[in-house]
Structures are given as structure tokens and as C-alpha cells.
């Protein structure tokens, strides 16, 4: 009622302006009104979180657990908060499983004070001087998904089709599959362009990127000569070990180091992610500043810590049989956030017969495909919606005097208002259908907020895996397919396994 009156009042004061109202039922959440006259006035409700007597304003990433109220009793949530705080203690004291892989925790603060960004910019400038217009970024898993996610989120979605493509080179990815057609079609493109390559592999021995790199390296050497090709190749790899490190040293490539204490899926804020993002023309300092805000917020030993809130609630729900978590985005730019998040949580938690299965969808698109199952299928689902409070662009729906489509009730509304109401309506429908909803919101999609989101999900992942009782930083299960593939491809040293597999396949 109070909110409605305030909204009306603002509408009277600024009658030509748009009133946007997105209110979420929320646990421990109050709303504050922010009215600020602009060329086009926006009235927004910005959430401030109330925990006990403490009012927290300004966290980049906000967690809203209101959509879980009817599924988890407050006392049960509080018990999981205690578990999350204990897990946070272990993470901060660095005494838990995998504690030699915690270098990611202080990457924002450390990197902002280092020369890394300037070194990435030096590569960008050197290649700009050669008029490079295509960079092939080779890598898989954690050596690919963070950069891909950032570029998808930050780039114009029709950049390739626009006449004005800007000055930054186009970034394409390779080495994340073993498809021959993909490689042939990639080479069709590379041959038309002035190309360079960033090859990323921490271990330096992963088959998919190694195969792609062998093909791209040969093309660059055949086309530009060995010396010039060496100037067009940058390697991001381990400090000392691995075939890629040896190759880079021998060929004289510029190299960036992935520190031993940062695992692949936690490496987006190392040169693994930062170099491709700089090459594409984006502001990684802003990304690191956003991550830094969350480095501070997610280190706090309190219920107000958003990583604690998220980790606690998803584990509370898992304990009640919600075995599948769907990451939901309402903006297609965040499709690859889902891919990055799935790797982070799937590889970190899916072990020892445990773990929430991470899935992802794009709404409203997938409401017309997966919506039926989510509303009505097996009740083992929970949803985490990545909610974006403000659109970076603005477009309203016009009036049509004929109104043949019957849509004049939308006249004057922003497209994003329809999206926001779809989000709210879906939330209520899914809760009614037995799907609890967590929400993780950011103010808008930009470098700053994306950096914050990366760090938030990483910290929450470490906490969540420790609550579950698994080592978040290893991935023993990934080796199984590799051993079989090597044996079947005739790699030296795999003869016995090859014979066993062939006998099995002949049965
Ligand atoms: O998270 C991980 O550690 C993995 O997903 C790796 O990033 C992926 O397997 C690629 O490994 P590498 O960078 O050693 O080629």
C-alpha cells in the first residue's frame, strides 16, 4: 500500500515519466525507493537487505531467498547458515580439502595492484599495430568458458552483422571440441582474415586445445613465416610444466602464467579470462573492481554474506530432495553465464556420489520448451534466477490505432517491463508448481557487475562444496574418458587398456 502511494506520488510529480515497479516477495528484504530526475525519469525500487538490525546497502550481487519461504522452514535455513559459516571459516583459514588451490580468493585485490592488465593491453596494442582483425582463442573447460561468457555478455549481439563493427578484433574460440567440421570451417574464416592466436591450457597437455593449436600454428607459420607467426601467438599456461610451456619457450612466444594455486574453473580473473576480454576491447579494470567488492562482501563472517546465503539455501533445498538446480536468465546475453556456472558447480561438487546437478535455461525462450517440465514434471528442481535490475538499452511499445493484435494495453511500456512481469509471473507460477526459487540480482550487465557475479559464484561454490563435504578443487572424474580416448587412439603407454577396451567393444 505504502509502495503504491509512493509510486503514485512520483507519477504525479513527473507525469510524463515512466514508473517501473518490480517488487519481489522476499525473505528478510525490504525495499527502498530511489527517485532521481533524469531526462527520462526512472523510479526504481532498490532492494536493501535487513539482517537482524543491520541494514546492508550496496552489495553488487544481492541474494533474494523469498521464493524458498514455502519450502524451507526458517530454523532449517538458519542451521544451514551455521554450516555455511563453518565452511567459510575453513575456506578463510585454508585448512580444507584442496587448500593448495585457493589462489583465486584474492585475485581481484592482487591483480588490480599488478602489471597484468598493462601486459594484456600491450598484446592488444601490438596486434592492433599489425591490423589483426581475428583472434582465435584456443582452450577448453575453465580455459574457455569464462572468457566466452564475458564476451557474450558484454558484446553487441549482432556485432557480426552490423556495418560498424568497431576497432577491436573479432574473437573466435577453438579447442573446445574435436569436431573436424568445426576446425575446417574455422580455417575457412582464418584464411580470409588477418589472424593471431591465444592458446590457453594450464596443464599444457589437454588433447582438444593441443589438436586445434597444432592446426592453427601450422597455418600461421605457412602464411606469415615462422618468426612473424611467433609474434602472432601468445600462450597462457603453467609456469614450468607441460608441453605447451616447453613449446612456447622453444618457439619464443610471449607467455602469461596461470599460477599453480588457481584451478581452471576458478581462473576467469587470471590471464585465462582477462587477456581475451582485453583483446575484445572491454574494461577488465572495472571487472576486477566489481570482483573486489565481492571479495570483501563474501569474506564477511555474517548471515549478510551473499555467498553464505546462496550456499546455505541451495544445500538446504538439496537436503529436501531438490537434486537439480536450474540457472535461469531472462537476457540471452547471459546464456554462457549458465555454461560457465555449470562447469564451476558441476566439476566442483559432482563427486563421491554427491552433488546438485546444474542445468541452465533462458527465459522466456525456454518457457516454450522446458517450461512444461519445470512447471509440472518431476519435483526435484530448484531454480536460481540471475535477475538484472536495469536494461542497458531502452525501447517502448507504441500505440497502434487499429489494435489488430490486441496489444494496445502495452502502449508506452518498455519491452523490459514485459520481461520483468514475465519473470515475476513465472516465479509465482513455479513456486505454486513446487519449484523453489533463489534469486541472484545484479544492477545491470556490464564489466563491473559481471566481475562481481564471477567472484560471488566462485566463493559460494567453495562454501557450498565444503557444506556438502567434497573437495571443490579437484576433478578426478574427468580423467575416465581421457584414458579411454587415448587408449582407443593408440597413445603410447595405453596398450593394455586399449586391448581391454577392444575386447569389451567386441563382446
Ligand atoms: O576446471 C578445470 O580444471 C578444467 O575444466 C580445465 O580447465 C580444463 O580441463 C582444461 O584444462 P587445461 O587448462 O589444463 O587445458
Distance 204 CA to ligand 1 centre (A): 9
Smallest CA-to-CA distance from 196 within 175, 165, 217 is with 217
Cell representation of residue 405: 493484435
Catalytic-role residue among 38, 160, 163, 368: 368
Per-residue pLDDT, 58: 52
Catalytic-role residue among 78, 482, 483, 502: 482
Task: Tell me whether residue 482 is one of the annotated catalytic residues.
Answer: yes
- Which of 100, 206, 258, 461 for a ligand 1 pocket mutation test, highest count of atoms within 8 Å of Cβ? 206
Catalytic-role residue among 347, 416, 447, 458: 347
Report d(CA 281, CA 321) in Å as an integer. Answer: 44
Taken in order of first residue, the domains within the chain and their CATH numbers are 60-95+303-468 (3.40.50.10490), 103-288 (3.40.50.10490), 476-505 (no CATH)
Contact between residue 281 and residue 158 where contact means Cβ atoms under 8 Å apart: no
Find all residues with CB under 8 Å of 303, minimum gap 6, and list them: 51, 52, 81, 85, 309
Per-residue pLDDT, 44: 29
Say yes or no: CB of residue 209 within 6 Å of ligand 1: yes
Say yes or no: CB of residue 451 within 6 Å of ligand 1: no
Distance 195 CA to ligand 1 centre (A): 25
Distance 135 CA to ligand 1 centre (A): 21
- Which of 142, 263, 476 for a ligand 1 pocket mutation test, highest count of atoms within 8 Å of Cβ? 142
**pTM, full prediction:** 0.88
**Torsion 408-409-412-418 (CA) sign:** negative
Find all residues with CB under 8 Å of 148, minimum gap 6, and list them: 173, 336, 339, 340
- Which of 100, 137, 138, 141 for a ligand 1 pocket mutation test, highest count of atoms within 8 Å of Cβ? 141
Please report, in tens digits, the pLDDT of each residue of the chain (507 residues total). 444 444 444 444 443 333 333 333 343 333 333 333 333 223 223 333 444 433 344 568 999 999 999 999 999 999 999 999 999 999 999 999 999 999 999 999 999 989 999 999 999 999 999 999 999 999 999 999 999 999 999 999 999 999 888 889 999 999 999 999 999 999 999 999 999 999 999 988 899 999 999 999 999 999 999 999 999 999 999 998 889 999 999 999 999 999 999 999 999 999 999 999 999 999 999 999 999 999 999 999 999 999 999 999 999 999 999 999 999 999 999 999 999 999 999 999 999 999 999 999 999 999 999 999 999 999 999 999 999 999 999 999 999 999 999 999 999 999 999 999 999 999 999 999 999 999 999 999 999 999 999 999 999 999 999 999 999 999 989 888 989 999 999 999 999 999 999 999 998
Find all residues with CB under 8 Å of 269, minimum gap 6, and list them: 104, 107, 108, 111, 146, 287, 288, 291, 451, 454, 455
Per-residue pLDDT, 5: 46
Report d(CA 319, CA 80) in Å as an integer. Answer: 10
Task: Tell me whether residue 156 is one of the annotated catalytic residues.
Answer: no
Per-residue pLDDT, 478: 87
Closest ligand 1 atom to 203 CA: 14
Which amino acid residue places its CA nearest to atom 15 of ligand 1? Answer: 201
Residue with cell 558484446: 155
Contact between residue 33 and residue 53 where contact means Cβ atoms under 8 Å apart: no
Cell representation of residue 105: 580468493
Task: Transcribe 212-251 into DSSP letters.
Answer: HHHHHHHHHHHHH-HHHHHHTEEEEEESS-SHHHHHHHHH
> How does strand 42-51 pair with strand 29-36?
antiparallel
Which amino acid residue places its CA nearest to atom 3 of ligand 1? Answer: 264
Query: What angle, rounded to 10 degrees, do the helices at 180-192 and 207-224 form?
Result: 30
Say yes or no: CB of residue 201 within 6 Å of ligand 1: yes
Find all residues with CB under 8 Å of 352, minimum gap 6, and list them: 469, 470
**Helix, strand, coil percent content, the chain, rounded in steps of 5:** 50, 15, 35
List, edge to edge, every strand of the sheet that includes 233-238. Answer: 170-174, 134-138, 195-201, 233-238, 254-258
Task: Tell me whether residue 347 is one of the annotated catalytic residues.
Answer: yes
Distance 187 CA to ligand 1 centre (A): 24
Which amino acid residue places its CA nearest to atom 2 of ligand 1? Answer: 264
Amino acid at each position: 500500500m505504502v509502495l503504491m502511494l509512493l509510486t503514485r506520488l512520483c507519477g504525479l510529480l513527473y507525469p510524463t515519466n515512466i514508473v517501473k515497479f518490480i517488487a519481489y516477495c522476499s525473505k528478510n528484504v525490504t525495499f527502498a525507493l530511489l527517485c532521481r530526475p533524469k531526462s527520462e525519469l526512472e523510479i526504481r525500487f532498490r532492494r536493501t537487505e535487513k539482517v537482524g538490525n543491520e541494514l546492508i546497502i550496496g552489495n553488487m550481487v544481492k541474494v533474494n531467498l523469498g521464493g524458498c519461504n514455502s519450502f524451507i522452514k526458517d530454523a532449517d535455513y538458519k542451521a544451514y547458515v551455521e554450516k555455511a559459516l563453518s565452511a567459510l571459516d575453513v575456506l578463510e583459514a585454508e585448512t580444507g580439502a584442496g587448500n593448495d588451490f585457493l589462489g583465486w580468493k584474492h585475485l581481484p585485490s592482487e591483480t588490480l595492484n599488478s602489471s597484468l592488465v598493462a601486459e594484456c593491453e600491450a598484446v592488444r596494442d601490438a596486434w592492433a599495430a599489425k591490423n589483426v582483425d581475428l583472434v582465435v582463442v584456443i582452450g577448453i573447460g575453465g580455459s574457455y568458458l569464462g572468457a566466452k561468457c564475458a564476451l557474450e555478455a558484454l558484446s553487441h549481439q549482432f556485432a557480426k552483422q552490423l556495418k560498424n563493427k568497431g576497432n577491436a578484433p573479432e574473437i573466435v574460440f577453438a579447442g573446445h571440441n574435436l569436431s573436424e567440421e568445426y576446425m575446417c570451417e574455422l580455417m575457412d574464416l582464418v584464411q580470409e582474415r588477418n589472424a593471431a592466436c591465444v592458446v590457453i591450457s594450464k596443464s599444457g597437455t589437454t588433447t582438444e586445445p593441443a589438436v586445434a593449436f597444432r592446426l592453427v600454428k601450422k597455418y600461421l607459420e605457412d602464411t606469415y613465416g615462422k618468426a612473424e607467426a611467433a609474434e602472432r601467438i601468445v600462450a597462457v599456461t603453467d609456469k614450468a610444466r607441460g608441453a605447451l610451456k616447453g613449446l612456447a619457450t622453444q618457439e619464443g612466444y610471449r607467455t602469461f602464467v596461470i599460477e599453480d594455486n588457481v584451478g581452471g574453473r576458478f581462473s576467469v580473473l587470471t590471464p585465462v579470462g582477462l587477456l581475451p576480454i582485453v583483446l575484445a576491447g572491454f574494461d577488465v579494470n572495472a571487472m576486477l573492481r566489481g570482483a573486489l567488492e565481492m571479495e570483501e562482501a563474501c569474506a564477511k563472517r555474517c548471515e549478510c554474506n551473499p555467498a553464505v546465503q546462496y550456499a546455505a539455501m541451495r544445500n538446504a533445498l538439496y537436503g529436501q530432495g531438490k537434486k537439480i538446480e536450474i540457472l535461469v536468465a531472462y537476457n540471452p546475453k547471459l546464456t554462457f553465464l549458465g555454461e560457465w556456472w555449470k562447469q564451476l558447480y558441476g566439476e566442483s561438487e559432482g563427486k563421491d556420489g554427491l552433488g546438485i546437478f546444474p542445468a541452465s535455461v533462458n527465459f522466456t525462450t525456454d518457457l516454450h520448451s522446458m517450461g512444461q517440465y519445470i512447471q509440472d514434471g518431476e519435483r526435484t528442481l530448484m531454480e536460481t534466477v540471475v535477475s538484472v535490475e536495469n536494461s542497458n538499452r531502452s525501447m517502448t511499445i507504441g500505440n497502434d490505432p487499429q489494435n489488430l493484435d490486441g496489444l494496445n494495453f502495452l502502449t508506452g511500456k518498455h519491452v523490459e517491463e514485459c520481461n520483468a512481469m514475465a519473470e515475476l509471473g513465472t516465479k509465482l507460477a513455479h513456486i505454486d508448481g513446487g519449484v523453489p526459487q533463489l534469486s541472484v540480482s545484479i544492477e545491470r550487465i556490464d564489466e563491473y557487475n559481471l566481475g562481481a557475479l564471477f567472484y560471488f559464484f566462485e566463493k559460494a561454490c567453495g562454501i557450498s562444496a565444503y557444506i556438502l563435504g567434497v573437495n571443490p578443487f579437484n576433478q578426478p572424474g574427468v580423467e575416465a574418458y581421457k584414458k579411454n580416448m587415448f587408449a582407443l587412439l593408440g597413445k603410447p603407454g595405453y596398450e593394455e587398456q586399449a586391448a581391454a577396451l577392444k575386447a569389451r567393444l567386441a563382446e
